[in-house]
Structure 1
Amino acid sequence: MADARITIDRDFTIADVPRRLFGSFVEHMGRCVYTGIYEPGHPQADERGFRRDVLELVREMGPTVIRYPGGNFVSGYRWEDGVGPVGDRPRRIDGAWHTIETNAFGLHEFVDWAREADVEIMEAINLGTRGVEEARALVEYSNHPGGTYWSDMRRRNGAEDPFGIKLWCLGNELDGPWQIGHKTAAEYGRLAQETAKAMKLVDDSIELVAVGSSNRGMPTFGTWEHTVLTHAYDEVDYISMHAYYRELDGDAESFLAEAVEMDAFIDGVIATIDAVKAAGKHTKQVNISFDEWNVWDFDRYNNEEEAAIAAAGWREHPRLIEDTYNVTDAVVVGTFLNSLLRHGDRVHIANQAQLVNVIAPIRSEQGGAAWRQTSFWPFERMARLARGRVLQLAVSASQIATKQYGDVDSVDAAATFDEETGRVVLFVANRSLESANDLTVDLRGFDGLRVVGAETLTIPEGGDRFTSNLETTPDAVHMVPLSAAEVVDGSVRATLPALSWSVIELA
């Protein structure tokens, strides 16, 4: 039996919980849009083709903001193709994913869908093959009331009122050689600066996200952020981060510790932002949009799936990276959410990629059912329960040896305190594959709290760490009661099962 002690002090907080931290991502990729959120003719589709069963799961999961329409897709996308009468919209080759884009679903459809889902839109613009004029026009089309060329076109296309999109991404992963329109940091930094200026001349209330490194392993990581922000610091509000993690060669211990890598990645980007701020004598604060993150077996995609899709020729919405998540993956996702919450003072936006079918917490079948993957549960619980202020924790725990990160804490945790309701919520993972963990949480400055809820996601009876939710067994893995959690002499006592992510609510 391992053990851990966490100290929580009411007076030691990090930041208000950023509600945009619980974001997701819809890209025109694979079956995320077509047969995911949109499938005319499905028994659950409404008159607009929106799948109501998927919408219900999205509302339950609780994302607050959704990035759209890409991703790699956006770097070759003409936004004008997705507006106007559907019958007049062109079919286009999408070089990013080697597919045919029908444009049956575009900007107006997504705005309508986002309103149904009660989410904020984070719109990405194409700075791969396009530039300043196209971006400026899209802001005018979306946000200007009327009386101009682009805003009147929106009104003719059926939207009298502006869409009011406030959050915009200045391109996607343009540091990557795989990206259509790949650029050097200096090329992109100047383009981002001038595009941002032009967009804000149309609507000065918008917030802009500059492209950061596609991952920490990029050879230009650090220098890319420094160069881009040296050009565009005063014009942008955030710089992006992207990261995907997977279990490599059965090394589950290192995989379960990947939040250590995420922490280091975030800290490195913060350091670069602050170095540019100091050197440029800037007064404003640029923060972070971690607008792509998840577990993804990208080796399988690179080695198998990509070649198979290319060999099959140009098709509409083929199956693409539809990873099936298991218990281990869900616990890791929970630790990533913990990491993002711990950095809530600087990470103000985060988007789990993607929402449906494509490395997603929600799966659906064409003409069939929709269901929750294992990774659905940590996101849903944190999005719903994390309120108020992020608490600063002191953690002391037994150690687990890993090949990639050395010795790491057996527990990973984050917590929030809502002063209005008096509720404290602790999110805690036990990384150990074999040992339960006796947890003690010392509560300082909190009087009279008791446990009002305690749940865990762990290996189900009769299962193992690879147990997944499938269409035939959609509820194999879900949150279950965490037994014997209680407050004793001002401290929380609980036993965390091996390989688990748990939520303890106190009020």
Structure 2
Amino acid sequence: MKGSLILDTHASVAKIDPRIFGSFIEHMGRAVYTGIYQPDSEFADQDGYRQDVIDLVKELNVPIIRYPGGNFVSGYNWEDGVGPVAARPKRLDLAWRTVETNEFGLHEFMKWSHKVNSDVSMAVNLGTRGLDAARHLLEYCNFPKGTYYSDLRRQNGAEEPFNVKTWCLGNEMDGPWQIGHKTADEYGRLAEETAKAMKLVDPDIELIACGSSALDMPTFGQWEQTVLDHTYDQVDYLSLHRYYGNRDDDTPNYLAQSLDMDDFITGVLAICDAAKAKRHSHKTINLSFDEWNVWYHSDQQTADNKPWQVAPHLLEDIYNFEDALLVGTLLITLLKHSDRVKIACLAQLVNVIAPIMTSEDGKAWQQSIFFPFMQASQYGRGTALLPLQESPTYETKQFEQVPYLESIAVLSDDQQTVTVFAVNRSANESLELNVSAGNLNFDHVLMATEFAGYDVKETNEQGQMKLVNNSTAEVTATNATAQLKPLSWNVIRIALNKA
């Protein structure tokens, strides 16, 4: 089986916003407590943060992290998480029916995000609260000094502003499960007025309005239209959320779900551009795909948990090899839309549907999905080239034409390297990949790795999974070739000759 990819720097998608490799920490389950923060752990640093987790997050090279939710934010009072820890109140979290101790709050998260070299995308509570709490939180975070909330921040130990520049106006407000769920008109009006007030406090922030929380929501489409009618002039991004699972144990169809993500993105962009045309605007609304991942292994775990625990085991999906392959195709799909998808957050980062897991009395470890995300984040910085691809296809119960090859190439900012990301979806056949250099001049292979050879249901709980060298990768000045094993994630980095 053969597939090809043609490169041409004149046919590019866009310069990739690094925030497309973002992630997400919510106060739920063990994401925070015994995840990123565990003072009694042997791996804790002097501030109580798990150093083994910090090291793995740094390896993922995550440029922005969304916080503190998620469903959690719709019932959260940000003031509970500042000031002396001993004086902070314990609260019932209605989103996940747990007890939030508030031992870990805003200052703790800001300090941790600095340790992992990440910016913050802060979500405000538009469920049980609204405009006033949002503007006060922004003043607390970003105003230098001399006002009540900026001086309160300084009193609480942060002399300099946190300077948070990306803000989410609530979370999944289209969902009936959301605390403070609203109709599109109700949310649109509130988001519009909150956005206006926040930009009066800090005109340099970027704001994300809630789009549909899934493509199959009954309000999809109409929700986006109504929300944009209210907020178009005030916001910068519209959000998308989508999770995938192989509930029918149909691997070929499961590995095709990146086509669903593509449809979702394309549909939302059409609505955004229709809103732009309707109001004769020169402004373009881009997308923040700020929740995406595989989520289905742990559904029963959540149902079985007793309510009102502190940091219970919730949504601790143990990912397998086919999940990693799907995550690889989803990353490629996001890069294909990097002209309009500027922010994306793998949900979540630690313990809760996450690439990184911890044991309360043991070390942190990497899940299968860690590997494609790490490589895409490390090597997917630069300009995404238009994927001029040819591949044989197959059919599933959901999709008529699924290419066996999913691929894209990224040209580095210094134009010294091009990186090809490729997935072979075939369970039985290797794929002979040919990459035409187009108007580039290939020099030599810098790196060629494959993630392959595992059973589709195999997990990495024993730490046996690893990336290995693909010795079949070869280049000439005009093309590169490699054999892609059945069911494989592949990365080929090629040095360019500028002469």
| Matched positions, count | 495
- 1:371-410 to 2 correspondence within 5 Å? 371-410=365-404
Spell out the pairing of 1:314-393 with structure 2 (5 A cutoff).
Answer: 314-393=308-387
1:428 aligns with 2:422: yes
Q: What corresponds to 1:469 in structure 2?
A: 460
Q: Given that residues 167 and 207 in structure 1 are in contact (C-alpha distance below 8 angstroms), is that contact kept between their aligned partners in structure 2?
A: yes
Shift of 1:249: 1.3
> Equivalent residue of 1:406, what SS?
coil
| 3-state secondary structure, aligned to 2:443 | coil
The CA deviation string for residues 84-111 of structure 1, in whole angstroms up to 9 with x for no partner, is 0000000000010010000000000000
CA shift at 1:406, angstroms? 1.9
Q: Which amino acid in the other structure matches residue 485 of structure 2?
A: P
Q: 1:272 to 1:358 in 2, by over 3 A?
A: same
Give 1:443 deviation, angstroms.
Answer: 1.4
| Residue of structure 2 in register with 1:98 after alignment | 97
Q: Does 1:503 align with 2:491?
A: yes
> What is the match of residue 244 of structure 1?
243
Does the CA contact (< 8 Å) of 1:400 and 1:432 recur in 2? Answer: no
Q: Alignment partner of 1:492: what SS?
A: strand
Structure 1 runs not aligned, ≥5 long: none
- Aligned partners of 1:333, 1:448: CA distance in 2, in Å? 28
- Aligned equivalent of 1:292: 291
Q: Does 1:487 align with 2:475?
A: yes
For residue 414 of structure 2, give the secondary structure of its aligned residue in structure 1.
coil
* Distance of 1:281 and 1:256 partners within structure 2: 40
Alignment-derived partner of residue 440 in structure 2: 446
- Distance in 1 between the 2:112 and 2:352 partners? 18
Whether 1:478 and 2:472 are equivalent positions in the alignment is: no
What is the distance in 2 between the residues matched to 1:296 and 1:458? 22
Paired position in structure 2 for 1:73: 72
Asked whether 1:260 is paired with 2:259, we answer: yes
Q: Distance in 2 between matches of 1:335 and 1:258?
A: 8
Asked if the contact 2:381/2:413 (under 8 Å) is kept, the reply is: no
| 1:32 corresponds to 2:31 | yes
Could you tell me the TM-score, scaled by structure 1's length?
0.96
Q: How many angstroms apart in 2 are the aligned matches of 1:306 and 1:440?
A: 46
Q: Is residue 322–residue 358 contact of structure 1 (8 Å, CA) maintained in 2?
A: yes
How far 1:352 sits from its partner (Å)? Answer: 0.1
Deviations 1:70-94 (A, max 9, x none): 0000000000000000000000000
Match of 2:301 among 296, 299, 305: 305
SS of the counterpart of 1:425? strand
Superposed CA deviations along residues 47-66 of structure 1, whole A, max 9, x for unmatched, are 21100010000001111100
Q: Could you tell me how far 1:450 is from its partner in structure 2?
A: 2.2
Letter matched to residue 354 of structure 1: Q
CA distance in 2, matches of 1:487, 1:46: 46
C-alpha distance in structure 1 between counterparts of 2:148 and 2:459, whole Å: 51
| Identity across matched positions, percent | 50
- Counterpart in the other structure of 1:224: 223
Is the 2:139–2:150 contact (alpha carbons within 8 Å) kept by the matching residues of 1? yes
Name the SS of the counterpart of 1:282 in structure 2: coil
Partner of 1:320, secondary structure, is coil
1:419 CA drift (Å): 5.2
* 1:344 aligned counterpart, secondary structure: coil
1:402 CA displacement: 1.3
SS of 1:141 mapped into structure 2 = helix
1: CA distance, partners of 2:159 / 2:328: 42
Which residue of the partner structure matches residue 42 of structure 1? 41
Shift of residue 381 of structure 1? 0.7
Question: In structure 1, what residue type is equivalent to 2:311?
Answer: H
- Residue 139 of structure 1 corresponds to 138
Question: CA offset at residue 488 of structure 1?
Answer: 4.1
Residue 174 of structure 1 corresponds to 173
Aligned equivalent of 2:150: 151
Partner of 1:282: 281
Q: Which runs of 5+ in 2 are unaligned?
A: none
The CA deviation at 1:449 is 2.8
Aligned partner letter, 2:457: F
Distance 2:257 2:388 in 1: 20
1:421 Cα offset (Å): 4.0
Report if aligned partners of 1:91, 1:102 keep a CA contact under 8 Å in 2.
Answer: yes
Which amino acid in the other structure matches residue 302 of structure 2?
Answer: E
Mapped contact 2:25–2:348 kept (Cα < 8 A): yes
Query: Contact 1:20 / 1:350 at 8 angstroms: preserved in 2?
Result: yes
Say whether the 8 Å CA contact 2:484–2:490 is kept in structure 1: yes
- 2:442 touches 2:479 (CA, 8 Å); kept in 1? no
Residue 148 of structure 1: CA displacement? 0.7
Residue 188 of structure 1 is matched in structure 2 by 187
Q: How far apart, in 1, do the equivalents of 2:329 and 2:442 lie?
A: 29
For residues 321 and 86 of structure 2, what CA distance do their matches in structure 1 show? Answer: 44
Q: Identify the residue that residue 20 of structure 1 maps to in structure 2.
A: 19
Indicate if the aligned counterparts of 2:441 and 2:477 stay in contact, CA closer than 8 A: no
How many angstroms apart in 2 are the aligned matches of 1:74 and 1:163? 19
1:282 Cα deviation after fit = 1.4
Q: Distance in 2 between matches of 1:447 and 1:370?
A: 42
Amino acid at match of 1:506: I
Whether the 8 Å contact between 1:99 and 1:317 is mirrored in structure 2 is yes
Structure 2 Cα separation of the partners of residues 483 and 436 of structure 1: 14
1:458 to 447, 452, 456: 452
Residue 405 of structure 2 corresponds to residue 411 of structure 1:
yes
User: Which amino acid counterpart does residue 366 of structure 2 have in structure 1?
Assistant: R
Q: Following TM superposition, by how much is the alpha carbon of 1:489 offset from its aligned partner in structure 2, in angstroms? A: 6.3
Structure 1 residue 234: Cα displacement = 0.6
1:414-445 per-residue CA deviation (whole Å, 9 max, x = no partner) reads: 11112524211000000111211111111100
Report the aligned-residue RMSD.
1.1
Structure 2 CA distance, aligned partners of 1:228 and 1:421? 40
CA distance in 2, matches of 1:489, 1:504: 15
SS of alignment partner, residue 254 of structure 1: helix
TM-score with structure 2 setting the length: 0.98
Question: What are the superposed Cα offsets for residues 266-287 of structure 1, whole Å, 9 maximum, x if unpaired?
Answer: 0001000000001011111110
Any conservation in 2 of the 1:459–1:477 contact (CA below 8 Å)?
no
